[in-house]
Chains A and B, each alone.
Chain A
């Protein structure tokens, strides 16, 4: 190609405009993805030179009892969180969709937890969950019988409650957008046919909302698989590993035990799970239509 022509053309300008973004994405996202894959096949403690050990990290991982415990915890956390982070916002969005006064207040109130730093949430909820002085047990009138974060059985449910509380606002906004995309004529037709209340919700609204529902479900599950702050700040994976989930385990392997190979293997297992979920979502994304 003639270089004079090149510099006179849009291509030159395109290179100039895109180069900063491309370099950044290449160095800080694309290279690390491949490095992470490679590091899954070495033994390395960040200090001595890395040693190639083939599939050993993965074999060790899949024969480790804790791995299955962590995997189970992660799925359990993600799915229970997702179920309630979908049902509650769905009902709330449906209630909010009837042009009530104060809608702006409700939107802002529901949204606050979503924009709040996890450390702030962790401090307040840790104090509220306190078995002896917390307001939660006092409100429920159960004395100190449930020890929440200190109890193997209740630590995970406690974390799930906090996650649902944080997720509600975000999902409600998306459901609201989905509901508002249903044409007014559909609702009018329902009224003419006498389909109201629950009948209308289950027979008309819900089927029309399926794409949104599907999208929100997958997004919530994906983000739940990535949870870290909550675990680090409230339970540190305990008690007895009952809240040990994948990203926190990865963090511990990498930055506490300096077991880089194992950490990278965990990272890739997580990546594959999330990738599968994302692909399902992309395959069906065409059905997710948003009319503002």
Chain B
């Protein structure tokens, strides 16, 4: 195999990858460009690609026409609290399954694993009913609490704790720590990579979540960004304020892209782990 042949393969590979990257990124660039155009320019044909004039007034305008700040605040509260809760609850259970000897450990773990097979859509009607019985409709509890639990996080944490050496925890025990202290002071700091994976995953999933917040909220004060933006899109179908719509879309996507780029390594690891639910 000559040098020439290797080069041809490289050129083909690069061309394919560049073409792919172009189609992946175009919608994002188009969104950003459109968000800075005047109404007149947006509806020009053939399409124009450079905002002229640079019209950033779409951003303050959309903040005035819908409560973007409230939506943003709600999304942040829900995503952050769900992530923190999920991390504590899953890591504690995962730790117990990895370290403690107790009756029915294996069957109990299998029950948790089995719950990952249930598609959330199957449960949506009874969950709505439960929320209503608890008087949780249109509250933060409804947006946060059902998202705290799941087999995937427990599985992921258990796998991680199993790979850690026990010696450090034994030393802590000899020093008089009870299991709860050992878990918080010794095991948890060593589990940071796994916590990062689970945390980034939960944050992005919760931030993007749409069906559940749509069903359990009904006042503007409780809407999250995706739901608020969806209502804007619906009501704008006739008025066609695409500039403002794009501006709000840009605002909604920034936090997830930020979190993703910061924790890309862990996110990708989580995807690969998701594939091997033992």
Can you name the residue of chain B whose Cβ is closest to the Cβ of A110? B24
Verify B268–A107 contact, CB threshold 8 A. yes
B17 in the interface, Cβ–Cβ < 8 Å?
yes
| Residues of B contacting A9 in the complex (Cβ-Cβ under 8 angstroms) | 102
Which of B50-58, B88-96, B164-172, B190-198 lines the interface with chain A? B88-96
Give the complex CA separation of A292 and B24 in angstroms: 27
| Residues of B contacting A247 in the complex (Cβ-Cβ under 8 angstroms) | 121
Verify A229–B210 contact, CB threshold 8 A. yes
- A35-B129, A117-B253, A290-B272 as given contacts; A10 in contact with B145, CB under 8 Å: no
Q: Could you tell me the distance in whole angstroms from the C-beta of B90 to the nearest C-beta in chain A?
A: 7
* Total residue contacts A-B, CB cutoff 8 A: 274
| Residues of A contacting B92 in the complex (Cβ-Cβ under 8 angstroms) | 17-18, 20-21
Can you name the residue of chain A whose Cβ is closest to the Cβ of B246? A123
Can you name the residue of chain B whose Cβ is closest to the Cβ of A229? B210
A158 in the interface, Cβ–Cβ < 8 Å?
no
Sorting the interface of chain B by its residue count into under 10, 10 to 19, 20 to 34 or 35 or more gives 35 or more
| Residues of B contacting A17 in the complex (Cβ-Cβ under 8 angstroms) | 92-93, 95-96, 100, 179, 183
Total count of chain A residues near the partner, CB < 8 A = 97
- Report whether over half of chain B's contact residues are helix, strand or loop; otherwise say mixed: helix
A219 in the interface, Cβ–Cβ < 8 Å?
yes
Verify A133–B43 contact, CB threshold 8 A. yes
A138 in the interface, Cβ–Cβ < 8 Å?
yes
Which of A58-66, A76-84, A249-257 lines the interface with chain B? A249-257
| Residues of B contacting A27 in the complex (Cβ-Cβ under 8 angstroms) | 130
Interface residues of A (CB under 8 A from B): 9-11, 13-18, 20-22, 24-25, 27-33, 35-36, 39, 46, 88, 91-92, 95-96, 98, 100, 105-113, 115-128, 132-133, 135, 138, 165, 168-170, 173-174, 177, 191, 196-197, 215, 219, 222, 225-226, 228-229, 232-233, 247, 250-251, 254-255, 260, 263-264, 267-268, 270-271, 274-275, 278, 285, 288, 290, 292
Interface residues of B (CB under 8 A from A): 1, 5, 9-10, 12-14, 16-17, 20-21, 23-25, 27-28, 30-31, 34, 42-43, 45-47, 89-90, 92-93, 95-97, 100-103, 105, 108, 111-112, 115, 117-130, 132, 145-146, 148-151, 154, 178-180, 183, 204, 207-208, 210-211, 214-215, 225-226, 229-230, 233, 242, 245-246, 249, 252-253, 256-257, 260-261, 264, 267-268, 271-272, 275-277
